[in-house]
Amino acid sequence: MDIRSQIIDQFNQVAREQQRSIPPLTDDLQLLESGLDSLCFAIVIARLEDTLGVDPFAAEDVLFPITFGEFVSCYESVAK
């Protein structure tokens, strides 16, 4: 399974567990409009670190992404 698919799976799983409704996960979707709150994002990021073995947000100079596409790109850039 590719990185994008794993991220989509985690977003959907966390949304179900937290009883959240999320829109289609397109590259231009603003993360603030994703339906997930900060706890949900923390869960997603922790699970992705366990699954992928990387945390792109651990570096000091990394800015948190604004869109879903930027979020995916953060993981794709460090998982290579």
pLDDT digits (tens, 9 = 90+) for 29-48: 999 999 999 999 999 999 99
Domain that holds residue 53: 3-78
Residue closest to 69 by CA, chosen among 28, 18, 19, 32: 28
pLDDT level of residue 80 (50, 70, 90 thresholds): low
pLDDT level of residue 5 (50, 70, 90 thresholds): very high
Q: Report the alpha-carbon distance of residue 79 to residue 44 in Å, rounded.
A: 16
Number of domains forming the structure of the chain: 1
80 CB burial (10 A radius; 0-12, 13-18, 19+): exposed
Choose between 78 and 62: higher pLDDT: 78
Residue with tokens 């409009």: 33
Cβ atoms 52, 2 nearer than 8 A: no
pLDDT level of residue 64 (50, 70, 90 thresholds): confident
